[in-house]
A = this chain, B = another copy of it.
C-alpha cells in the first residue's frame, strides 16, 4: 500500500463520499488510489473554480465536507475565489493539494509556488504531510478540522513522494470532532429578559439559524415576544416556503437596509454577525443597526444556533407551534416579455417539493426570491462572499449531495461566464439541475453602482466596461458546446412551458431567459 491509498482509504472510512477533482501529474497516485476506492465518487471539473464551488454546495447541503483534489499552488489558486465564498458560508471543505516531491521543491521547477501563502487566506487550517506513513493521519486530522462547527475550510498538501512511497506503518485513527459551544444559561436569561422589555426588536438570523429546525424555534420566540425575524442578505442556506417560519431578508443596498432596521430598540444576533453595508459609499455609514439599538449575541462564532434558539424559546415559555407560511394559489402569469417578477411567478408556481435553489441571479434574482415565499418548501442558497462565479458550481455540489432533490440554478449572465465550465460536469454526471440563465447582456448591478458611488455622467468607455453585449452571449450555443440540452425563451409563456418541462423530467438542462 502506498501513501495515496492509505490516505484515500482512511478518508473513505471516515465518511468522505465525494471528491471534486482537477488533477495533474503530481496527483496521479491520488487518482489511482481514488480509482480503487468505490466509496468515493470522483467528479472531474474542467476548472478549479468549479471544484471549490461544488465543494461549497456539497458542504452546505450535506453538512460534511467533500474532498477536493487540486494541482499544486496554481491549481489551488484558481479555486480561491469560491473558497472565499465558502468561508463566508461556513461550509465544511477538505482541500487536498498535490505538490512536487519534497526533494524536488528546492529546484524551483516551473509549477513550484508558495502554496502556504496562497492557501492561508482562505483556510482555517493548513498542514503539509510529513511522510508517507503519516499521510493518512494528516488527512484525518484535516477532515476533523473541517467539521469545526458549523464548518471550516481545511487544507492539506500531499507531496508526490508521500503519495507514491510504500507505507511501512499504516496506523492512524479518526480525530475527535470538536463539539459546538453552547450559550450559557445566563446569556439565555439576559437575552430573554431583553426581548420581553424591548420593542420593537428583532432576531437577526444567519448560518445554521436558518435551517428549518432552528427557524421553528425562532418562530416560537417571535410568537412569544413579537420580535421580527430578519435574515442576513446573503446566507448560506435558508429553509423557506409553505410550512416554514416566514422571515424578512435584509435589503442589499445600505440605504434600504438602514430604513428596514430603523426604529429597532434591540437586535439579537443568532448565527450572524451584525449587518454591515456590502460596499462603502461616500458619506454613508458602514454599520446598519440603528446607533441607539441594544445589540446582543445569542449564538456567535462556533456556538450551536439550534440549541441556543430552542433554549431561548423554552425560557420564554413560547408556544410549541410557531406561525408558518401558508401555501398560496398559483400566480396568474402576465403576457409578453419576461421580467424579474414574471420569472419569479413561474418558478413559484412550478417549484417541486424540496427543491434547492442556488441563487446567483443578481439584479434579476430578487423577484424569484420574493415570490417563492409561499411556494413548495425548499432550500435557498446565496452568494455569500460576493465573488461571482459561484452559482453553477454550487448547483453541482448540491445535486451530488442531494440526488433526490431538484436543483435550480438562477444564474446572471455575467456571473455565469466566470465558471461556465460547470455545465460540462452537470452533463457528464447527469445531475438533476435546471439552469436558468438570466440574460440581460449587462453587469446590470454596476450600472446602478456607478451612480451610487457618485459617477454622474459616465462616458462610453465606462459604460462599455459594464456591458455584455457586443458581442451578445448566446447561452444555448455555449450549452450545446458542452453537450447540454438548452432552449432560449423570450416570453412568459415560453418560459413557463420550458420550466414545466424541466421540472417534470430528471437531468441537466438550461433555459436562457432573455430579459
Mark A residues whose CB is within 8 Å of B: 21, 23-26, 28-29, 31-32, 34-36, 42, 44, 46-47, 49, 73-75, 77-78, 80-81, 84-85, 88, 100-101, 103-104, 107-111, 113-114, 117-118, 120-122, 160-161, 164, 234, 273, 276-280, 282, 286-287, 384-387, 389, 414, 417-418, 420-421, 424, 427-428, 445-446, 449-450, 452-455, 458-462, 464-468, 470-484
Contacts and interface: CB of A to CB of B under 8 A. Distances in A.
19 contacts: A23-B465, A28-B450, A36-B459, A42-B464, A44-B464, A44-B465, A44-B467, A46-B417, A46-B468, A49-B78, A75-B387, A78-B418, A84-B113, A108-B273, A161-B280, A424-B473, A427-B471, A474-B483, A478-B482
Most buried by B among A21, A28, A470: A28
A11 B477 CA distance: 40
Contact of A100 (B280, B474, B484): B280
Copy tally for this chain in the complex stands at: 2
B78 A74 contact: no
Contacts of A462: 31-32, 34-35
Given A21-B465, A420-B421, A107 B28 contact: no
Contact of A24 (B88, B428, B446, B475): B446
B35 A458 contact: yes
A460 B468 CA distance: 41
B427 A421 contact: no
B420 A420 contact: yes
Contacts of A276: 104, 107-109
A25 to B, nearest CB: 4
A417 to B, nearest CB: 4
A115 to B, nearest CB: 8
A483 B474 CA distance: 8
A401 to B, nearest CB: 19
Contacts of A418: 46-47, 78, 421
Given A36-B459, A386-B111, A462-B34, A77 B80 contact: yes
Contacts of A479: 481
Contacts of A160: 279-280, 453
B470 A481 contact: no
A183 B501 CA distance: 72
Contacts of A77: 77, 80-81, 84, 387
Nearest to A390: B74
Nearest to A468: B46
Contacts of A32: 450, 455, 458, 462
B31 A278 contact: no
A389 B420 contact: no
A459 B46 CA distance: 20
Contact of A471 (B26, B73, B482): B482
B109 A42 contact: no
A253 to B, nearest CB: 11
Which of A109, A481, A483 gathers the greatest number of chain B CB atoms within 10 Å?
A481
A284 to B, nearest CB: 10
Nearest to A273: B108
B108 A35 contact: no
Contacts of A446: 23-25, 28
Contact of A74 (B24, B84, B452): B84
A294 B428 CA distance: 53
A12 to B, nearest CB: 13
Contacts of A466: 31
A276 B414 CA distance: 41
Contacts of A483: 471-474
A482 B347 CA distance: 28
Given A118-B121, A280-B100, A386-B111, A34 B461 contact: yes
